């Protein structure tokens, strides 16, 4: 596995990478690449820990999990071995969450959207247009608010170790360009199995169709749905533009995921192993985020940037004007009112205040 860091970044990309402790990222990526060659040597075999998720193998989330597995193995002298099941091999996200909750699967990485069905408070992360950019999101989610959000998980049978992420979500559809919420009226849009996502698209005038990620391509191909929302990076790599020729950069939600562990499994771990798991999870987040950034600049398996891909395929990608984006924000205002009451004013207001505070520091 080869990692390439492109130093010819724009100002925004450069600012973002500077937040990653760039020398540490380089070291971790180099260590990861080298260790993959030698990881099978001089370690004691141990039981296999199964980890499920729905992202494809080339995605930063999977790469981060590979590093998590390697870190555990290297730092336990092989006592901890992991087998990662990507692409929904063990089921859709709701099924994965249920498996972890009941203990039939020890670990998974699942979107906050789906986890909000089990831990309603985590749904605050999925509020539409909450985060204006990744810098703000990372500053908020890596701060004290994370401990508060994660404190709600044990009561539901989970322990949350870290945030991992996908990217900001955009829209694709097979009918026409989308510039305003009026353009979404009547379109059948696949959403994640999340009340907030369903209510968001209802507020925008679409007909939301909740559906597990592994089923989306065939549903688009067969015309069961007209469109879907996913990070453009993901949409391209799983070939959604083959069946959805209209793309709009809405950037309406940042897709965050949580690495969760079954609570009973966690409570049986020795304190030293708990520390090891948490450290490995933190390093996996760094790898996840850095790999995502690289993927934006150079798509895995394709080898060119997203803008270059769109030009090559002659795909028209609508970038919303500030006035158009404001129409979307205005349309989802009722969603904020509803979920402030459902999630709880304390945690809801706290994260909004932290976002506003972080914006004021720029």
Helix and strand totals (H; E) in the chain: 16, 11
Same domain, 238 and 209: yes
- Between CA 194 and CA 256 the distance in angstroms is 13
Question: What are the distances in angstroms from CA 183 to CA 3, 171, 173?
Answer: 40, 12, 11
Asked whether residue 344 is domain-assigned, the answer is: no
Asked whether residue 76 is domain-assigned, the answer is: yes
Same domain, 270 and 314: no
Same domain, 52 and 123: yes
Is residue 211 helix, strand or coil? coil
Same domain, 208 and 312: yes
Look up residue 107 and give its two tokens: 């670990």
CA 145 from chain centre, in angstroms, equals 18
Same domain, 248 and 327: yes
CATH number of the domain where residue 180 is located? 3.40.190.170
Asked whether residue 1 is domain-assigned, the answer is: no
Asked whether residue 38 is domain-assigned, the answer is: yes
Asked whether residue 31 is domain-assigned, the answer is: yes
Pick from 130, 163, 111, 181: which is nearest to 348 by CA?
Answer: 130
Q: At what angle do helices 60-75 and 22-38 cross, to 10 degrees?
A: 70
- Between CA 141 and CA 133 the distance in angstroms is 12
Asked whether residue 358 is domain-assigned, the answer is: no
Same domain, 219 and 325: yes
Look up residue 313 and give its two tokens: 């395929």
Same domain, 109 and 218: no
Same domain, 237 and 107: no
Asked whether residue 349 is domain-assigned, the answer is: no
- Show the DSSP H helices in the chain as ranges: 11-18, 22-38, 60-75, 93-102, 112-115, 134-141, 144-150, 195-203, 216-221, 232-237, 263-267, 271-297, 306-312, 322-331, 333-343, 345-360
Asked whether residue 269 is domain-assigned, the answer is: yes
Q: What's 46's DSSP letter?
A: -
What does each of the 362 residues of the chain score in pLDDT, given as a tens digit?
A: 333 333 223 334 445 544 555 445 545 555 555 444 444 445 556 689 999 999 999 999 999 999 999 999 999 999 999 999 999 999 999 999 999 999 999 999 999 999 999 999 999 999 999 999 999 999 999 999 999 999 999 999 999 999 999 899 999 999 999 999 999 999 999 999 999 999 999 999 999 999 999 999 999 999 999 999 999 999 999 999 999 999 999 999 999 999 999 999 999 999 999 999 999 999 999 999 999 999 989 999 899 999 999 999 999 899 999 999 999 999 999 999 999 999 999 999 999 999 999 988 76
Q: What is the pLDDT of residue 45?
A: 62
Same domain, 132 and 279: yes
Q: What is the pLDDT of residue 359?
A: 87
Length of the chain, in residues: 362
Same domain, 201 and 310: yes
- Between CA 276 and CA 27 the distance in angstroms is 19
| Counted domains in the chain | 2
User: What would the DSSP string read from start to end of 288-301?
Assistant: HHHHHHHHHHS-TT
Same domain, 73 and 50: yes
Whole domain around residue 32: which residue ranges?
11-166+256-297
Same domain, 128 and 180: no
Q: What is the pLDDT of residue 34?
A: 46
């Amino acid at each position: 596995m080869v990692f390439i860091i492109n130093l010819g970044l724009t100002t925004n990309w450069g600012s973002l990478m500077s937040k990653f402790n760039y020398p540490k990222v380089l070291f971790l990526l180099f260590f990861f690449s080298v260790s993959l060659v030698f990881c099978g040597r001089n370690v004691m075999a141990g039981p296999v820990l199964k980890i499920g998720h729905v992202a494809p193998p080339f995605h930063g989330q999977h790469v981060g999990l590979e590093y998590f597995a390697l870190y555990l193995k290297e730092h336990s002298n092989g006592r901890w071995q992991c087998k990662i099941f990507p692409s929904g091999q063990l089921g859709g996200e709701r099924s994965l969450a249920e498996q972890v909750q009941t203990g039939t699967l020890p670990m998974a990485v699942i979107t906050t959207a789906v986890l909000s069905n089990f831990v309603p408070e985590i749904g605050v992360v999925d509020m539409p247009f909450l985060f204006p950019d990744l810098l703000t999101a990372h500053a908020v989610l890596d701060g004290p608010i994370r401990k508060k959000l994660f404190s709600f998980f044990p009561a539901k049978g989970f322990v949350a170790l870290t945030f991992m992420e996908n990217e900001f979500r955009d829209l694709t559809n097979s009918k026409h360009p989308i510039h305003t919420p009026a353009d979404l009226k009547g379109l059948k849009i696949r959403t994640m199995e999340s009340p907030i996502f369903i209510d968001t698209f209802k507020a925008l005038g679409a007909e939301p169709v909740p559906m597990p990620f592994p089923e989306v391509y065939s549903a688009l191909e067969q015309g069961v749905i007209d469109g879907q929302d996913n990070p453009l990076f993901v949409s391209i790599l799983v070939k959604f533009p083959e069946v959805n020729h209209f793309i709009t950069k809405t950037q309406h939600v940042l897709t965050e995921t949580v690495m969760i562990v079954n609570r009973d499994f966690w409570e049986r771990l020795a304190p030293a192993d708990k520390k090891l798991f948490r450290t490995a999870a933190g390093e996996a987040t760094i790898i996840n985020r850095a790999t995502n950034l690289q993927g934006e600049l150079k798509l895995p398996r394709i080898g060119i940037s997203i803008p270059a891909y769109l030009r090559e395929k002659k795909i028209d990608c609508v970038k919303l004007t500030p006035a158009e984006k404001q129409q979307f924000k205005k349309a989802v205002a009722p969603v904020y009112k509803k979920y402030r009451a459902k999630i709880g004013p304390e945690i809801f207001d706290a994260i909004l205040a932290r976002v506003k505070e972080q914006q004021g520091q720029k």
